[in-house]
Amino acid sequence: MKIDRLKELREDKDLYQKDVASLLKITQQQYNKYELGINSIPIEKISVLADYYNTSVDYLIGRTDVRKPYEKSILK
């Protein structure tokens, strides 16, 4: 997990840790541990963050430096 990206994305939206924690339905202390890299973020929470910040999970975890989200495809 690219922990610096969590803080960067949060600050880009002028949010406090407590704001993001509320979105994730966790405490500010728990979110702080995510930003510091002390605790791993469950995949369900990473997905919520990717949607909220309009980016991809791959960007959040450092697999790409492209901030733009992937195009969602609909299987037919």
Tens digit of pLDDT at every position of the chain (76 positions): 677 999 999 999 999 999 999 999 999 999 999 999 999 999 999 999 999 999 999 999 999 998 888 776 655 5
Q: What is the pLDDT of residue 22?
A: 98
Residue 8 burial (CB count, 10 A): 12
Question: 3-61, superfamily in CATH?
Answer: lambda repressor-like DNA-binding domains (1.10.260.40)
Do the beta carbons of residue 39 and residue 33 sit within 8 Å?
yes
How far is it, in rounded angstroms, from Cα 22 to Cα 71?
27
Tell me the whole-structure pTM to 2 decimals.
Answer: 0.85
